Structure 1
Amino acid sequence: MRYDVVVVGGGPAGTVAAEDLARAGRKVAFLDRAGRIKPCGGAIPPRLIEDFDIPDSQIVAKISTARMISPTQRAVDIPIENGFVGMVDREHFDEFLRLRAKDAGAERFTGTFLRIERDESGPSVIYRDKETREERRLETTLIIGADGARSDVARAEVPGGDTIPYVIAYHEIIKAPGKIGTYDPMRCDVIYDGTISPDFYGWVFPHGASASVGMGTGVDGVDLKKATADLRVASGLDGCETIRKEGAPIPLKPLDKWDNGKDVVLAGDAAGVVAPSSGEGIYYAMVGGRVAATAAQAALVSGRAKDLALARKLFMKEHKTVFRVLRSMQDAYYKSDERRERFVSLCHDVDVQRLTFEAYMNKKLVKARPMAHIKIGLKNLAHLTRLVPETYA
């Protein structure tokens, strides 16, 4: 049997790509490595819920407030106006997406990707079947690599795929209590503290009956488990039962090229599409899967391999500016605790709060209030040049 497209990876990017192509009438297979749950805070914005038709049954908590915590334990609560941030449990959310792709007509295979082989008839995905441990072959016309930040497909097929920068994320899923210590089941806490992460941040995110407590860093030698344990103690969650522990890389920069110019295109973490500064990945992974499917469909219709480049073009057309702003923010404020302290101080500003969450909820920079943008720019400059004292509030 020959497929139009084989998708390597059964996470949000791969399942969206497989579902979209199946619904377009293409013969699609996707390969999922069962048993792996990505460490993830699990936050999804309303735009994702709307764009990808996520049922309320998948939302395990609806968050109304975000708290930013500085190195000196200064806390700034930012209310989420006119909406909420949805929380999902990746163990169940990813399986929901896989089942939906299968119901749409995509064929699901379970195993470990090994390599891509080519002959006169085209490429084949070679994988090791989970049950039989035998090597199997999926013959296809095109391949979508959606196999994560350390993508084997990207490393083998796409320039730069073997050198993508990343941070390591680690978290512990715990049985969540009600309000205890500083923990609030209706609030997401983001901790900007060099003792937890010297270059990124820590988090405490409620998931209804459970919670995700973790951190990320790109600095060698940091003890991720100790930092997470310290974070649990500080939040009053050290006595809670641990359900599972997970770690994985999070890419820091979209690749300059997402396809190999002939039969492979990347999606999601494999393409490096995690938002700088925030580390948000679910929404951008799903968008990445959608544009990869769009590019694959265009290439199948036209017969032109160059149409695979549409995936990156479509994604960057909508999201490049947001990524650039977030990268500038991370470069400016994550360098030291003194900078992190100033960043949390800046978050006191009502204009910053409103524009930040408008951008997060709608996934675009808001242009409706130009004076607010000017004010934020001036305040940001004042903080970076130390014209504003650290005690600013």
Structure 2
Amino acid sequence: MTETIFDAVVIGGGPAGATAATELALAGHSVLLMERGGRIKPCGGAVPPRMLKDFNVPQSLLVARARSARMISPSGRKVDMPVGEIGYVGMVDRDVFDEWLRERARMSGAQRVQGTFEKIERDDNAHPIVSFRRERGGPIERVRARVVVGADGARSSVAKQCLPDAERVKCVFAYHEIIKSPEGDSDAFDGARCDVFYQGRLSPDFYAWVFPHGDTASIGVGSANKGFSLRGAVSEMRSDLDLTRCETLRREGAPIPLKPLKRWDNGADVIVAGDAAGIVAPASGEGIYYAMVGGQVVAEAASQFLRTGEAKALRTARKRFMKEHGRVFWILGMMQYFWYSSDKRRERFVTMCDDKDVQQLTWQAYMNKKLVRKKPLAHVKIFLKDTAHLLGLRAATR
């Protein structure tokens, strides 16, 4: 493979990388998709129905459909947010879902290889060399690419090597345990409900969750506080919910970025996507849909670069993504900054979630992945209620 030249080498086979590889292959480019294998990303697995439609993903990959979400405050107050008739929250298992995406890339014309990325090298040739190992301690192999797509997750090695300040991206560290679901539904666990815990004892700066996956469930927590015990928080949560008797199938942990990088390309022949580009929604930590959108726009930009030879085409990926989703990311970032900063504010935040206007616009925004503009008066009402809650006015607690 040392003499092989691919149009694109995609490093990382998650939703972003697999989507980018599929789009590039369908556009007629020669593609190598490199995935290191043996790892499943810790993820609640929630996806909106729009993702299935936009990316032609079959319903059969859903292991559950949540019809409501429950918000739990520091005091233990529970606020249920039914989705209603507008849709559902789809749940996927990342090991099956990601492999399906990789296989679709292969069937679209991409070549797959299992290997661990080492570095990008350069010589007198115009195109970079990607070096990797098929197995730990094995020989280094090299392949040349006209463009390299780094989709190797948070703290991306590609981004650190090729993009300025990439190593400074702020992350939340996520940890979850996949367990066998308890038999039968109860108030503590419902196979059609996502539970989100806004409690400082479980996460001082983010949240904890219980997401149903059919026969299994994801019990997890996130925090940027390096001194906080994520495993301890999950253990405490399982004890509180009487889930300690459920068999633990696997444990996983990884950093999750919560702010898009200011630059996604090196101005020449390297571009990043997905977690490597920092496109995970603040406040919610949602990443699958945005990773696939990021993979798609990166593939389109890379394809344009391959056709024209103009490196400036790579810049269009970030511009397109931020034009479509940047405002939502900004609002979610401000939400996380204000509402997750103390238990007092978390209590008010959960109280605010009991408002029907908030619930309706929240679900519409989630399903459509954009701010809802059809009801400007509702937005004004929510802004006033949000301000009242933030200031702790008496009316906000009713």
1:173 to 171, 178, 188: 178
1:76 to 66, 76, 79: 79
Equivalence for 1:373: 379
Checking the alignment, whether the CA contact within 8 Å between 1:181 and 1:236 is kept in structure 2 is no
Q: CA deviation at 1:130?
A: 2.6
1:92 aligns with 2:92: no
Q: For the residues of structure 2 that align with 1:344 and 1:132, how far apart are their CA atoms? A: 50
Q: Which runs of 5+ in 1 are unaligned?
A: none
The alignment's C-alpha RMSD in Å is: 1.1
Equivalence for 1:13: 16
Q: For the residues of structure 2 that align with 1:389 and 1:88, how far apart are their CA atoms? A: 40
Equivalence for 1:255: 261
Q: Residue deviations 1:129-175, cap 9 Å, x none? A: 13882211121100000000010000000112111000100000000
1:101 to 99, 105, 120: 105
Q: CA deviation at 1:181?
A: 5.3
Q: For the residues of structure 2 that align with 1:312 and 1:169, how far apart are their CA atoms? A: 25
Equivalence for 2:65: 62
Checking the alignment, whether the CA contact within 8 Å between 2:388 and 2:395 is kept in structure 1 is no
State which drifts further: 221-230 or 172-181: 172-181
Q: CA deviation at 1:120?
A: 2.4
Checking the alignment, whether the CA contact within 8 Å between 1:113 and 1:126 is kept in structure 2 is yes
Checking the alignment, whether the CA contact within 8 Å between 2:263 and 2:318 is kept in structure 1 is yes
1:157 aligns with 2:162: yes
SS of the equivalent of 1:162 reads helix
Q: For the residues of structure 2 that align with 1:191 and 1:4, how far apart are their CA atoms? A: 46
Q: Which runs of 5+ in 2 are unaligned?
A: none
Aligned residues: 392
1:37 to 32, 35, 40: 40
Q: For the residues of structure 2 that align with 1:131 and 1:145, how far apart are their CA atoms? A: 20
Q: Residue deviations 1:196-243, cap 9 Å, x none? A: 000000000000010000000001211111100111112221110000
Q: For the residues of structure 2 that align with 1:93 and 1:388, how far apart are their CA atoms? A: 47
Q: TM-score, normalised by structure 1?
A: 0.98
Q: TM-score, normalised by structure 2?
A: 0.97
SS of the equivalent of 2:314 reads helix
Aligned residues: percent identity?
56
Q: For the residues of structure 2 that align with 1:134 and 1:120, how far apart are their CA atoms? A: 23
Q: Residue deviations 1:48-105, cap 9 Å, x none? A: 1111111111000011010010000101100112211100000110001011100100
Equivalence for 1:128: 133
Q: CA deviation at 1:179?
A: 1.4
Equivalence for 1:298: 304
Map 1:321-360 to 2 at 5 A: 321-360=327-366
Q: For the residues of structure 1 that align with 2:102 and 2:337, how far apart are their CA atoms? A: 36
